[in-house]
Copies of this chain bind each other. A is one copy, B any other.
Amino acid sequence: MSRQELPVLDAACCAPLTGEALSDESAAELAKGFKALGDPVRLRLLSLIASRKGGEVCVCELTDAFTLTGPTISHHLRVLREAGLIDCQRRGTWVYYWILPAKLAALSQLLDVSGAAAPASV
């Protein structure tokens, strides 16, 4: 993936919130990722994919883990994919999903405020 394809994510990548204030553009790009994560079903789907030891999961297993319909699961998977958090490949009857660690790492590092100073007055 070239810089030209994802310039905003590249610019925002890896700098924690404590570094400097985000630009409008970086905030808009990064907020898309958090918005995709801001739903309990999507977060569970992502954790089911991420915690799979082999690295990828058949959509048939994901559907079995919920009481939701197939189309609803597919919608949530599409939101995660459009946010750059997962990718997939069809093989025969089934689609297989895996996480994209780069985007997750960028969001993780943004929230890593472990070096933050405590407020002076509290």
Contact = CB atoms under 8 A, between A and B. Distances in A.
Contacts of A24: 40, 44
Contact of A119 (B56, B109, B120): B56
Contacts of A28: 40
Contacts of A30: 43
A104 B41 CA distance: 21
Nearest to A28: B40
Contacts of A37: 31, 34, 38, 111
Interface residues of A, number: 56
Nearest to A109: B108
Given A101-B113, A119-B56, A21 B44 contact: yes
Interface in A90-122: 96, 98-99, 101, 104-105, 107-114, 116-122
12 contacts: A17-B46, A17-B104, A18-B50, A21-B48, A28-B40, A31-B40, A34-B35, A37-B38, A54-B119, A55-B117, A105-B114, A111-B111
Interface of A: 16-22, 24, 27-28, 30-32, 34-44, 46-48, 50-51, 53-56, 65, 89, 96, 98-99, 101, 104-105, 107-114, 116-122
